């Protein structure tokens, strides 16, 4: 039903996602209604489809952002710490920050400075985004996302917005116990979402979910 979820406005898009069962939880719906995708998508912001944002990066389709939020929601409580690897235009970083305020913090990681600046600039387009950035609720940094961001670890939840070549132990190590990691993983030329849970005793389980197609998770380009 994702292809039927596009709308003429941000509200119409989110309402259609909810009507089609792609948004199930009211908290997710409220957070996505509170972040205008037009501030983050370069064209046709209310279409439920991925879009290029330059620098070999994309903004994922809204239904994938909804899926990530729905999966991570048990760990997205006020005051929670969240890591968003491959933050891109900053859209999901802002949505996640709405879900963990007040008192929460989301760190968006990108591998090149132009994308860090893009996320920062986009987030500051709204009063809500400016307030979150000025009060420490959102921070964008340049780093190799495969290594996470240990400076602010551990995290209640980690989202990865690009396909990893494997299960990066650094990200699992930076999860709290309990905590959850939502990431696309490439295996045998196919990609699937994996939901990785770290339990209170530190044991880790990996659950394979839907098939997807993401850009690869890489370090800064050398060319």
Cα separation, 18 vs 165, in Å, equals 32
* Residue matched to tokens 């000025």: 134
Q: Could you confirm whether 60 is annotated as catalytic?
A: yes
Cα separation, 142 vs 144, in Å, equals 7
- The span from the first CA to the last CA of the chain, in angstroms, equals 40
* Residue matched to tokens 């994308």: 115
Beta bridge partners of 142: 110
Three-class DSSP category at 40 = coil
Check 5, 60, 71, 89 and give the catalytic one: 60
- Encoding tokens for residue 27? 């908290």
**Mind telling me the catalytic residues?**
60
């Amino acid at each position: 039903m994702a292809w039927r979820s596009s709308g003429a406005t941000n509200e119409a898009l989110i309402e259609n996602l909810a009507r089609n069962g792609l948004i199930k939880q009211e908290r997710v719906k409220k957070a996505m209604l509170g972040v205008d995708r037009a501030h983050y998508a370069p064209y046709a912001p209310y279409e439920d489809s991925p879009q290029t944002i330059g620098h070999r990066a994309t903004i994922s389709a809204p239904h994938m952002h909804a899926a990530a939020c729905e999966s991570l929601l048990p760990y997205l409580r006020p005051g929670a710490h969240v890591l968003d690897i491959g933050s891109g235009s900053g859209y999901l970083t802002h949505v996640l920050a709405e879900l963990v305020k007040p008192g929460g913090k989301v760190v968006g990681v990108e591998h090149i400075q132009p994308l860090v600046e893009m996320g920062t600039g986009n987030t500051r387009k709204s009063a809500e985004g400016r307030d979150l950035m000025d009060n420490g609720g959102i921070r964008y940094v340049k780093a190799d996302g495969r290594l996470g961001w240990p400076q602010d670890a551990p995290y209640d939840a980690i989202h990865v917005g690009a396909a990893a070549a494997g299960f990066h132990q650094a990200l699992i190590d930076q999860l709290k116990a309990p905590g959850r990691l939502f990431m696309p993983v490439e295996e045998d030329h196919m990609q699937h979402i994996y939901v990785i849970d770290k339990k209170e005793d530190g044991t880790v389980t990996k659950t394979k979910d839907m098939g997807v197609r993401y850009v690869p998770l890489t370090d800064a380009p050398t060319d």
